[in-house]
Amino acid sequence: MNLLQQTIEKITNLDQDMMTKARQRVDSLIKPPKSLGKLESIAVQLSGITGEMFSSIDKKAIIVMAADHGVYEEGVTSNPQIVTFAQTLNIAKGITGVGTIAKVSGAKIVTVDIGVKEEIPGDAGVIIRKIKKGTDNMAKGPAMTREEAIKALEVGIEIATAEIQNGVNLLGTGEMGISNTTPSTAILSVLANCDPKEITGRGAGLGQGGLAHKIDVIRNAIAINQPNPTDGIDILAKVGGLEIGGMAGVMLAAAANHVPVVVDGLISSVSALIAASIEPKVKDYLITSHATEEPGGIIASELLGKEPMLKMDMCLGEGSGAALAFPIIEAACSMMINMPTFEEVGMEI
């Protein structure tokens, strides 16, 4: 808890003076005003995050948190749980969606076992920070203790901080965990104060009971555990996941260190909501990548107050949307660094 509290205390508001100056420069670049749209707002946000007019994005990493879920026992998915283990290994090899897309921008993939049920081999290229072998079944009681939830947050903080200390200046979040749309939807239901029926999707594949069964499991888990909607850690502990906590910790660490962090799809967005419930100023450091095909994505984005930059009909997870967004953020930096103002080129307007 000491690390979590210390991290929270380091998070400040964006540099408004620098953002004002950045906006003035963007508006005077040799182009029609507002003509580069979201690239302009990203550039201004980056200046507020870093406190620099010309933000540099030259070392990028996506931190992928992997964990299993006890609620798998309820038959909410058709996918075998061993897929979490297998895909965690493949993510570390760089051959899954996130790795192949990340190659475009040269981003590093940092794969973390924060709660995979199976034992990951020591030579697999995965950072082993296992808190427990998957969460407990939230349909029968809390997914984890409050202490375990805090530890998940702190593992995320530690991993992100280490990357930042190694020079990373743009982070992305990703996850791997069979059944994790179930706890994500439960968290979102609590925070949005809505019935799970309104936001529950198919995830990676429905179990034999179909969508109705998945909705019932989520609804019953919330009723049994009664998570406090004003306490993000309590929600995380009772109906969350270890990888969800880990990603939230990454976001807290990024904000504490004035580093932008790109949010992936539904599960990453739910992690962002947990982070923001712990410290609302985190929202200012987030860049949302894409509008997920999962039904809860729209509500999650609305709660964050963020409009995703891309609509690509994606719902893979892993951080794939964040990887796809990295080149766009780099383009915003290039605009700011390489495009002169009308005054600088001697043009009158």
Residues with a known catalytic role: 318
Sign of the alpha-carbon dihedral angle for 291, 295, 300, 305: positive
Other CB atoms closer than 10 Å to residue 338's CB: what's the count?
Answer: 9
The Cα 252–Cα 241 span in angstroms is: 17
Bridge partner list, 290:
310
| Cα→Cα distances 79→104, 109, 129, 206, 208, Å | 30, 24, 24, 8, 11
One-letter amino acid for residue 103 of the chain? K
For every residue of 152-217, DSSP letters joined together read: HHHHHHHHHHHHHHTT--EEEEEEE-TTTHHHHHHHHHHHHT--GGGT---TT-B-TTHHHHHHHH
One-letter amino acid for residue 246 of the chain? G
Q: At residue 230, what are phi and psi to the nearest 5 degrees?
A: -100, 5
The Cα 75–Cα 213 span in angstroms is: 8
153-189 burial, b for 16+ CB within 10 Å, e for fewer? bbbbbbbbbebbeeebbbbbbbbbbbbbbbbbbbbbb
Backbone angle region of 51, left / alpha / beta, with phi > 0 → left and psi within -120 to 50 → alpha: left
Bridge partner list, 342:
none
Write the CB contacts of 89 (distance below 8 Å, at least 6 apart in sequence): 120, 121, 124, 126
The Cα 191–Cα 193 span in angstroms is: 6
Nearest CA-CA partner of 79 in 206, 184, 192: 206
- For helices 181-192 and 242-256, angle between their N-to-C axes, nearest 10 degrees: 60
The C-alpha angle with vertex 216 and arms to 214 and 221, in degrees rounded to 5, equals 100
